Structure 1
Amino acid sequence: MIILRAATLAALFLVSMVQMLLAQDVTLTSRDGTVEISGDLLGFDGEFYRVQTIYGELTVDGSGVLCEGPACPNLEDYVAEIALSGSDTMGRVLIPALVQAFADRNGYRVTRQRTDQRHLIMTLAEAQGGRIAGILTLRLTNTDEGFADLLANEADIVMALREVRPAEVQRIEEAGMGDLTGPRRGRVLALDGLVPVVARDNPLLKISTPDLARVVAGDVSNWAQLGGPDAPITLHLRGETSGLWQVVEDRLLRPAGKSVAEGAKRYDSDLALVDAVARDPFGLGLTSVSAAADIKQVPLSGACGFTLGADRLSLKTEDYPLSAPMFLYLPARRLPKLGRDFISFTRSEAAQLVIRRAGLTDQTPEEIAINAQGNRFANAIAQAAVDDGDVVDLGELQAMVTALSDKRRLSLSFRFETGSSRLDAQSRSNVELLAQGLEAGFYDTRDMLFAGFSDGEGGAAANQRIALKRAETVLAAVREAAETASFDQVSLSADGFGEAMPMACDDSAWGRQVNRRVEVWLR
């Protein structure tokens, strides 16, 4: 252990020296001497150099050039350096647990060093001999800071509790790091959700998303307005810079055109928030599902009678409207091989087990039998009888049941950005997941139906056409992503069922968004 710690300190010293030298010029010369590139060395991944030149950032294969200059790395004793920055929630538990599992699988020993409350350094050393293979530095702040560090070339990977914002996409693309909304740039690592919580003795049994937005905005400030006692509501919320709070803004307040009420109590962690709500009989808080195991969670409801709780399957299928995916964002540049191997590992079954043990919802696609979806079909039957006073054609419901009755639903769902034909970030990640399964032959000899659904606004025939178009769009995206799949081994088709199976009430933007979706059904 003393030898390993000494090696770790030596490696950290070398890393710090290299970082001091990276700002100095290097010259890369082809082995025949005909090509010469000079500039600032931005990074070396063990195989390729990244150099800032007068022509912009260039990536150069190290096997074809000779490096001259004080910043040139030692090729024989190369140590992979990877910096992750962003969400404190992800960086304190989930990422270290995944790194440890990755190390165990690949024969590395891990040592951890905290330089301060915001930085964790994880060193991976070979079990035999103790050679340092890689150093992962985690900066634990918030999602905003993660994207800022990426722009400043101080991070290789961003840990985010929200989607990258358009302004961040533009600045990062202008900096030459690619389009973070493009394929394989952003991936969902795990799934969490945003859930209202109250003290155990609080009588509140459910709350609609419009009412929840009004509570957070201060328009509803007394429990009597929700059918409770005549007492003021105390709001407990996360800090304004936390990724979870930004989920509140994106998923709850912005669709309702609301802003947060003044006087809400703010917290730096979910645990502190939950503890405060548990001791406040008149408090209402918003926290992550993973932090709410020991407090009363309040399901979301609507005027039409639907009630949705935040459980594992409702989060995985995105049926729960206030989902909170955990993202890893990677710029368009090569990671060291160790980093690429780690990113690949995060999609493995071993990694999904780690995610489940951390109290989060994993990304492993699951098949859900039709007899386990009775509530969904009950909702469909209830809404097919009468909808806003107009009789809905029960023939559409019968056609849907006939098409789906011999199939099982896959837990991957697909939704589109508001007012757009572009898939949202979680759905783009789901396209990659499904494409990987097709490439691996997991669905060979199966029939795969992409089933499109709509909200209840507009005429039934128009909604059916819109739903079919969405299903065809997702099918095409999956086909394009599954480059090596044997499509002659699997049958892919699309159909649209319009408003035949609503998941939530159409009386709010949240409910309509949940209802506009594409599902995958297998036979």
Structure 2
Amino acid sequence: MPDRNNAARILACTIVGICACAANALSGEVTLRAKNGDFEIKGELAAYDQNKYTILSTSLGSMSLDASRFDCIGSNCPSDAVAMRTEAAPSDVPAGPTSISISGSNTIGNQLMPSLIDAYAQSTSKTLTKVVSPDGLDVEFKMSGKDGKDEGAIALHRHGSATAFADMEKKVSQIGMASRRVKDDEVQKLAAIGLGDVRRPGSEHVLGLDGLLVLVSPQNPVVSLPMETIAKIFSGEITDWSQIGQPAGKIDVYAPTKESGTFDTFESLVLKPHKFELTPNAKRTANHAEQSDWVAHDRNGIGFAGIAYQRNAKALNIVSTCGLIAPPSTFSIKTEEYPISRRLFLYTGGEPRDPVARGLLEFALSHDAQRIVKQSDFIDQVPETASYESQTSRIAFGLNAAPLNFDENLMNAFTSDVRSAQRLSVTFRFQSGSYELDNKALADAKRLVELLQSDTYKDKTVLLAGFADTKGTFSINRSLSLHRAQAVLAVMKANGLSHRQAKIAVKGYSELAPVSCNDTEEGMQLNRRVEVWIN
């Protein structure tokens, strides 16, 4: 659906696909009014479990709202005695110790998920006994209480992202780990066995982010490389620095071992898209710090590692197909604007029925778990800030836009609005032609509300700056970008934001200041966004 589609069409299919789910509404229309009186939302009540309302709104889509913060108004509001429960009935909840299964990505399962399981067990005062299979891909965590009694077990299977959905389809796994988003055919297969659309909120969960640095020696003069050139170097198609305009020297390629989740990420984001494989001449190690040190001491060397392992090596900028330069940083990975970055997912068929699976999932998605994500050498989702000066390269790039995709007065207004501000890493993204927030954006709205409720931000001014890709006319995209900023504000209010807690402005800047090229769907997806600026 192009960005030029009209607002009426947009309103028909908003935040989480109201067109698809309105027919399945379970009750009549109600009004949910925030107890502070600042916000209310009308729609079909889909579910209520005494803790949360799930409402289907024609303006905001499907939303889960904290029942303690909202009053339900209308004849269709449920009483506690007739509440429509979405979780399993008591007879369906397993009695006594149970075993659950988690399957999928080796990237997540290698270190991050075991660390989360261990921390979850500690938080619930359970002791773990670990049994590892001979090949190391399967681990069973047996849990016991303080009294030594059996408290169940967690089986972890680390055979790749595709196995997450295969095992869920076989109904042998309650939680799937994936270092990529679920594919259309996998969604259909899981829906066919009764799990519904696993891309919906409550089923698709972003655990953290992953980003890799391309490293060279500080003595190497190269500063930036295009992604295709990087792929050719690591495949062995380019073997000498002189082939890319640098001083002559045979390129020495360094890389992690094939078992490494870091190598799996690089292979999937850099090599495979260009139909390349790693050169057999690469020197490989399982020790990321060792590889980084090899590169740092080899003027002709090149390698890659997680951002925690830069050490004394120099990280290169990545040049996109349209010439936009992406410097590597935790900030650019958190905004998902650095090309070698990706989301780490957990998938479920809604809220797990098993209490251990449900408790582990809640812990994995908690604020406390983000510390473990960072300790496991991935990128957490804790908001951070960057200066206006750090954003000037893409603003300068935006000044080269074609006349049809540019408005000088609006660009001047944007730079004036943000010049003295700091950009927050929280960035909201949308489907084409709509202001439908994706699942990560919905979770980020909650994080942003929590941040703005802190003392640090109580006297700050917040700008929600909406943007669009280049599909459609500039004027229509300007309107769409404004609607996107307004949609973010509405979701923030639904998550407890009060006008007394922050001064918030919403503006739309159409196609200006892109963060990615508009020549691919992936690039356009990055440009359909709302940025957050703090002043």
Query: Do the structures match in fold with TM over 0.5?
Result: yes
Q: Deviations over 1:137-192 (max 9, x none)?
A: 11122112222222222221112111112221111111222212111212121221
Change (3 A) 1:253 1:264: same
Answer yes or no: is 1:124 the counterpart of 2:143: yes
Superposed displacement of residue 330, structure 1: 1.4
Change (3 A) 1:385 1:187: closer
Q: Give the one of 468, 472, 478 matched to 1:464.
A: 478
CA RMSD, Structure 1 to Structure 2 (Å): 4.4
Structure 2 CA distance, aligned partners of 1:252 and 1:466? Answer: 33
Count of matched residue positions in the alignment of Structure 1 and Structure 2? 443
Superposed displacement of residue 496, structure 1: 1.4
User: Taking CA–CA contacts closer than 8 Å with sequence separation of 6 or more, which of the two structures ends up with the larger relative contact order?
Assistant: 2
Q: Give the one of 420, 426, 446 matched to 1:435.
A: 446
Alignment correspondent of 1:135: 153
Does structure 1 retain, via aligned residues, the 8 Å contact 2:105–2:164? yes
Change (3 A) 1:435 1:306: same
Secondary structure of the residue aligned to 1:141 is: coil
Structure 2 CA distance, aligned partners of 1:317 and 1:94? Answer: 21
Answer yes or no: is 1:191 the counterpart of 2:203: no
Does structure 2 retain, via aligned residues, the 8 Å contact 1:441–1:485? no
Q: Deviations over 1:330-361 (max 9, x none)?
A: 12352322322222222333322222222222
Superposed displacement of residue 442, structure 1: 3.1
Change (3 A) 1:166 1:300: same
Alignment correspondent of 1:259: 275
Alignment of structure 1 residues 142-157 onto 2, 5 Å? 142-157=160-175
Answer yes or no: is 1:403 the counterpart of 2:414: no
Structure 1 CA distance, aligned partners of 2:423 and 2:314? Answer: 30
Change (3 A) 1:175 1:300: same
Alignment correspondent of 1:35: none
Change (3 A) 1:104 1:259: same
Superposed displacement of residue 259, structure 1: 2.1
Secondary structure of the residue aligned to 2:441 is: helix
Secondary structure of the residue aligned to 2:111 is: helix
Change (3 A) 1:340 1:483: farther
Superposed displacement of residue 207, structure 1: 0.6
Does structure 1 retain, via aligned residues, the 8 Å contact 2:434–2:480? no
Change (3 A) 1:174 1:489: farther
Structure 2 CA distance, aligned partners of 1:406 and 1:345? Answer: 38
Change (3 A) 1:216 1:287: same
Answer yes or no: is 1:485 the counterpart of 2:496: yes
Alignment of structure 1 residues 46-65 onto 2, 5 Å? 61-63=89-91
Alignment correspondent of 1:360: 378
Answer yes or no: is 1:498 the counterpart of 2:510: yes
Question: Counterpart amino acid of 2:506?
Answer: A
Structure 2 CA distance, aligned partners of 1:180 and 1:100? Answer: 26
Gaps of 5+ in 2: 1-85
Q: Give the one of 147, 168, 187 matched to 1:169.
A: 187
Question: Counterpart amino acid of 1:364?
Answer: V
Does structure 1 retain, via aligned residues, the 8 Å contact 2:98–2:152? yes
Q: Deviations over 1:407-433 (max 9, x none)?
A: 55332112346x675868xx5223123
Alignment correspondent of 1:225: 243
Q: Give the one of 515, 520, 523 matched to 2:532.
A: 520
Structure 2 CA distance, aligned partners of 1:440 and 1:79? Answer: 38
Does structure 2 retain, via aligned residues, the 8 Å contact 1:179–1:332? no
Gaps of 5+ in 1: 1-57, 66-72
* Identical pairs, percent: 27
Answer yes or no: is 1:328 the counterpart of 2:328: no
Structure 1 CA distance, aligned partners of 2:150 and 2:341? Answer: 39
Alignment correspondent of 1:375: 390
Task: Give TM-score scaled by structure 2 length.
Answer: 0.68
Alignment correspondent of 1:24: none
Change (3 A) 1:154 1:275: farther
Does structure 1 retain, via aligned residues, the 8 Å contact 2:388–2:422? no
Does structure 1 retain, via aligned residues, the 8 Å contact 2:388–2:420? no
